[in-house]
Structure formats: structure tokens, C-alpha cells
């Protein structure tokens, strides 16, 4: 098993019951896996991917990381923090134009020392190669982390996360039937898919799609599938996967990426006021709403144990103050 990583977070992240929310959805026991508490500059699921990606960059002798995302990218903020810790220079390509005042993740990325480039309509890494050539001419040894950190190396973080979860389930004498989470660039989903197979985790993945526009390289299902296929080979798995094995629930992405509706607001406030836990408006609020809808409408069988994998995103809340106050 590939386990060459640069430590960035505090693991295992907690796994615990949501007793108050569970009471509102009779027939379901709801649990939460707390990757919002990874500890890297406000935490989040990218910490797991970055442990493997940063190690690969260091092993390749690189001194500069380039990655891309939206202005409120949690991935970019955690990458900036990881680079600080690893002593690497960080360049972020962020969509849109420079705002007068930096807020949320953008503010944190700046504080964390990243060089920030605004790239207009291109928020998914379209301009990475041009910046890379420029920096290389200036003598930098560049390592590109793809959009969302989603390639096989990044996904390894979530292969290992399944092992971590398995150990917690055993220790708590617990079985989980369904795992809900926000899926957007596919690395987490690919890693969980591989980890489930490798460590025989008997739970159904319930990825909630966040970005209806998808990403470069095909539909999100195709992107996940490609990473899974690479993983099958590199991890020596015997199981063959087909594209139809990759599920994705698209009912909650209609308003578009980063557009906050009454649904996300309801989910954020319900969790905040019943458990004292914060989810974000872009990813985890949308996915949590999706899960609540599945439970409300009894779209999964009664008496199920349901896990929500909290993937972080808190800083983005501050960018949406007008919608949430």
C-alpha cells in the first residue's frame, strides 16, 4: 500500500453520532465524520489529498506549487497552508477579478502567503500551463496540483481515510449503511470507492453533486471512473469497475456552483441550531440538505445508519453573510 506522505493534519478525525438531528428523522441514526477538523488552517477534505500531493512534489525536487480554483476555494486555501508548512512557494490561479476587500478563503490564502493570480472566467486550471512556463523560465521547479487536488495521488488520501473509518467503526461497534458527502472534483469519491474495495467497507456511497457545470476531462462520473481505474492498477485490486458503478446524485445542483438557496440555508441553520456544528453554503450545506431530503422522503430504507462526511468549508460562510444573517 502506497503510504509515502507529508503530515499536514491531525488524524483520525472524530466520528460521532448526531443525536439531536437523528431525533427529527425517525428510523434513521445519523453520524458525522469530522474532516472539518483536520487542523490545517481551518481544516477540510483537501488536507488528506495534500499529504500525498505535497510529498510527491517534494520527492520530485520541486520548490513551487501551482493550483487553481474559485476565489472561495477551500482547496486553494489548504494548499497555501500546506506549502507554508512544507517550505514551498504557492501560486494560486483564482477565477474572477481582484475584489477590493479579500474575504473568506481568499483572505486566508493571502494571509498564508500564496501568490494570487486572478483568471477571469477560468476557475478550473485552464491557465496553469501558461503560468508554469513563465515561472520555469524564471528558474522555479514547478509542481502542478490539478483542480481540487483530484488525481490518483490526491485520491490516496481518501483510500487511507476508509481504513481510518473502518478502525473507528470497529472500535465503536458500529455499522454504516450509507455515506453522504459533497462531490465536486471527484478525488474524494474516487478514493472512497477504491478504499471501500481495498478495506471491505460495506456501505453505499451517496455522493451529492455540487457543480452542475462539471470539470475538464468529461462528466464527473467519467473523471471519478478514470481515477478509480488508475487506482485499480496501481493498488493491485482484483475488482473490475465499470462507469455505471460510479453513482452521483444531481438533484441538488440546479442553481449552479456557489449559488445559495433556501435549501442550503435551511440545512446550515438546522444543523447549527440542533448540534452546534457549522456547514458551509457551497459544499457541505448543499450535501447536508441532500441527505436530509433523502431522509425526509424516505428514499433510503428505514432503520439505516447514515454517515455524513463533513468535508469542511467554513471560511466561505463569511462571504455569504448577506444570505445567512
Binding residues (CB under 6 A) for ligand PLP: these are 44-46, 74-75, 148, 150, 182-189, 280, 283-284, 311-313
**How far apart are CB 136 and ligand PLP at their closest, in Å?**
27
**How far apart are CB 67 and ligand PLP at their closest, in Å?**
12
Q: What is the DSSP string of 235-274?
A: TT------GGG---B-TT-TT-TT---HHHHHHHHHHHHH
Q: 176 vs 191, which CB is nearer to ligand PLP?
A: 191
**186: alpha, beta or left? (left if phi > 0; alpha if psi -120 to 50):** left
CB 251 within 8 A of CB 287: no
* Bridging pattern class, strands 64-69 and 89-94: parallel
Q: 28 vs 154, which CB is nearer to ligand PLP?
A: 154
d(CA 111, CA 286): 28
d(CA 3, CA 194): 15
Q: 258 vs 313, which CB is nearer to ligand PLP?
A: 313
**How far apart are CB 18 and ligand PLP at their closest, in Å?**
18
**Which residues have a Cβ under 8 Å from the Cβ of 181 and sit 6 or more positions away?**
188, 189, 192, 205, 206, 207, 208, 287, 308, 309, 311
Q: 55 vs 74, which CB is nearer to ligand PLP?
A: 74
- Find the catalytic residue in 73, 150, 184, 304: 73
**How far apart are CB 150 and ligand PLP at their closest, in Å?**
5
Q: 128 vs 135, which CB is nearer to ligand PLP?
A: 128
**How far apart are CB 69 and ligand PLP at their closest, in Å?**
8
**How far apart are CB 324 and ligand PLP at their closest, in Å?**
16
Burial of 107: CB neighbours in 10 Å, binned 0-12, 13-18, 19+: middle
Q: 231 vs 312, which CB is nearer to ligand PLP?
A: 312
Rg (CA), the chain: 19
Here the cell at position 257 is: 456552483
Q: Which of 74, 65, 73 minimizes the C-alpha distance to 43?
A: 74
Q: Which of 291, 286, 273 minimizes the C-alpha distance to 313?
A: 286
DSSP 8-state assignment for residue 215? B
**How far apart are CB 4 and ligand PLP at their closest, in Å?**
20
Active site residue 73: yes
d(CA 161, CA 33): 10
Q: In what order do the strands lie in the sheet with 304-310?
A: 15-17, 28-34, 304-310, 178-183, 204-209
The residues carrying an active-site annotation are 73
Amino acid at each position: 500500500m502506497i503510504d509515502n506522505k507529508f503530515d499536514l493534519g491531525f488524524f483520525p478525525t472524530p466520528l460521532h453520532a448526531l443525536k439531536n438531528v437523528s431525533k427529527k428523522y425517525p428510523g434513521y441514526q445519523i453520524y458525522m465524520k469530522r474532516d472539518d477538523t483536520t487542523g490545517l488552517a481551518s481544516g477540510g477534505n483537501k488536507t488528506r489529498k495534500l499529504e500525498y500531493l505535497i510529498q510527491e512534489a517534494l520527492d520530485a525536487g520541486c520548490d513551487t506549487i501551482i493550483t487553481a480554483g474559485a476565489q472561495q476555494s477551500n482547496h486553494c486555501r489548504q494548499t497555501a497552508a500546506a506549502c507554508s508548512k512544507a517550505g514551498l512557494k504557492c501560486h494560486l490561479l483564482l477565477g474572477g477579478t481582484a475584489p477590493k476587500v479579500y474575504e473568506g478563503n481568499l483572505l486566508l490564502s493571502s494571509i498564508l502567503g500564496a501568490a494570487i493570480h486572478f483568471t477571469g472566467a477560468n476557475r478550473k486550471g485552464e491557465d496553469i500551463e501558461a503560468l508554469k512556463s513563465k515561472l520555469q523560465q524564471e528558474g522555479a521547479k514547478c509542481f502542478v496540483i490539478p483542480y481540487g487536488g483530484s488525481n490518483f495521488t490526491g485520491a490516496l488520501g481518501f483510500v487511507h481515510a476508509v481504513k481510518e473509518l473502518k478502525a473507528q467503526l470497529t472500535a465503536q461497534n458500529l455499522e454504516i449503511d450509507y455515506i453522504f458527502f459533497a462531490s465536486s472534483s471527484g478525488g474524494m469519491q474516487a478514493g472512497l470507492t477504491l478504499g471501500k474495495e481495498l478495506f471491505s467497507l460495506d456501505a453505499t456511497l451517496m455522493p451529492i453533486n455540487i457543480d452542475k457545470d462539471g470539470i475538464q476531462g468529461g462528466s464527473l462520473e467519467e473523471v471519478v471512473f478514470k481515477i478509480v481505474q488508475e487506482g485499480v492498477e496501481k493498488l493491485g485490486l482484483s475488482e473490475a469497475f465499470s462507469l455505471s458503478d460510479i453513482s452521483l446524485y444531481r438533484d441538488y445542483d440546479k442553481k449552479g456552483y456557489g449559488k445559495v438557496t433556501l435549501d442550503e440555508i435551511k440545512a446550515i441553520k438546522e444543523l447549527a441550531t440542533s448540534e452546534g456544528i457549522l456547514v458551509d453554503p457551497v459544499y457541505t450545506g448543499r450535501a447536508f440538505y441532500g441527505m436530509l431530503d433523502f431522509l425526509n422522503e424516505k428514499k433510503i430504507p428505514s432503520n439505516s445508519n447514515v454517515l455524513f462526511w463533513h468535508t469542511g468549508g467554513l471560511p466561505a460562510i463569511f462571504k455569504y453573510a448577506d444570505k445567512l444573517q
